[in-house]
Amino acid sequence: MHEAMLYDRLDQSRAGCNICRWRCRINPGKTGVCRMYENLSGRLYSLNYGLPSSMAVDPVEKKPLFHYFPGSSVFSMGSWGCNFKCSDCQNWQISTAGEPAVSSREVSPEQAVSLAQQYGCRGIAWTYNEPTMWFEYTCDTARLAREKGLYTVYVTNGYMTIEALDTLGPYLNAWRVDLKGFRDDFYLNWCGIRNWRGILETAEHALRRWGMHVEVVTNIIPAMNDDEEQLCSIAGWIAGSLGNLTPWHVTRFHPCDKMAAGGSTPLETLEKAVKIGREAGLKFVYMGNVPGNRHENTVCFNCSGTVVERDGYRTKLTGIAGSKCKYCGAELNFRMGQEGV
């Protein structure tokens, strides 16, 4: 087991975890809400370090990240557990695990970086479950990955504390964050958390303090977060706080986990969300989980030229020059390797 990086030693041998906004106060012999950090005699340990649940080579578009090294492959790693309890979790087999499976094969940070290079990946992403669940491992691996010229990505629910982000910030390039809704009752009832506005603070910090590339995903669930009020609030916040060149992915919900009996998001709802995003001033609103839809390509907002064509995970760069439109020179917020990775 690996000692946690960010915790306070409290009275009566309790440990105060500072990795995510739950800020669990954990008694000896107990674990935090996520069940991936355990207090042993007053010291906090990660139960997950170097124990992936899953590893794969993915197109970066699958994260989804559309404006970050488009067309590149990313070595993707997931672990166990989660600090949310979302009713629509696609990966509930790993996110609801109380502990790493006994069959987990240990993969050191050095081995992870080596595997990424061996498979020709440009970067490493922590994804599939919430990356803060093995925060120490992602820090160690990200530092090594950056030394070797690989980019690094968190696919996250965004509930990390500012001090955790400041610990990881020097080694992390991209923050792909879910903004699942925009109301207290939604986050409480659907995800089981309070203080969800911390997600906004951390995302802004990722962008402004650390210069990370940020893309936002909202999975639109019928009767839960598909009302105009929440969609307008999300789009307005992205445009106002992260900037109108920030990509927003509105994705189709498909029944799963505890919602197995419900229906998929109607296409009209997704079209409505795209329209709301555009009316809020967002220049790049993408529709996801709908194969072949007309909102997958990147079209320059200034000259209407198609600069990236996408078909599923096939990507063709047709009009990008650096971060700009090749046809008219408009800034399109792409990162193509200019940051030295």
Q: Which residues bind ligand SF4 (CB under 6 A)?
A: 17, 19-20, 22-24, 32-34, 36-37, 83, 132
CA 191 centroid distance within chain:
15
| Cross-strand partners of 243 | none
Please say which residue, 37 or 286, places its beta carbon nearer to ligand SF4: 37
Structure tokens at 192: 């089981």
Please say which residue, 23 or 62, places its beta carbon nearer to ligand SF4: 23
- Please state, in angstroms and rounded to a whole number, the distance separating the CA atoms of residues 312 and 59: 10
Q: How far is the CB of 6 from ligand SF4 (least distance, A)?
A: 8
Structure tokens at 261: 């009996």
User: Among 231, 230, 167, which residue's Cα sits nearest to residue 202?
Assistant: 167
Q: How far is the CB of 193 from ligand SF4 (least distance, A)?
A: 10
Q: How far is the CB of 327 from ligand SF4 (least distance, A)?
A: 46
299 membership: H or E segment, kind and range: strand 298-299
Q: Using alpha carbons, list the distances in angstroms from residue 46 to 81, 128, 172, 240.
A: 12, 18, 20, 37
Please say which residue, 100 or 277, places its beta carbon nearer to ligand SF4: 100
Q: How far is the CB of 83 from ligand SF4 (least distance, A)?
A: 4
Q: How far is the CB of 227 from ligand SF4 (least distance, A)?
A: 29
Please say which residue, 52 or 288, places its beta carbon nearer to ligand SF4: 52
Instruction: Check: CB of residue 51 under 8 Å from CB of residue 100.
Output: yes
Please say which residue, 33 or 332, places its beta carbon nearer to ligand SF4: 33
Preceding peptide of 266 cis, ω within 30°: no
Provide CB contacts within 8 A for 277, sequence distance 6+.
231, 235, 238, 248, 250, 285
Q: How far is the CB of 21 from ligand SF4 (least distance, A)?
A: 7
- Please state, in angstroms and rounded to a whole number, the distance separating the CA atoms of residues 166 and 209: 9
With residues binned 3-state (H G I as helix, E B as strand, rest as coil), the percentages for the chain, rounded to 5, are: 30, 25, 45
Please say which residue, 177 or 250, places its beta carbon nearer to ligand SF4: 177
Please say which residue, 32 or 288, places its beta carbon nearer to ligand SF4: 32
Q: How far is the CB of 250 from ligand SF4 (least distance, A)?
A: 28
Q: How far is the CB of 289 from ligand SF4 (least distance, A)?
A: 28
Instruction: Check: CB of residue 252 under 8 Å from CB of residue 289.
Output: yes
- Please state, in angstroms and rounded to a whole number, the distance separating the CA atoms of residues 152 and 124: 5
Please say which residue, 36 or 94, places its beta carbon nearer to ligand SF4: 36
Q: Which residue is at the shortest CB distance from ligand SF4?
A: 32
Structure tokens at 201: 């603070």
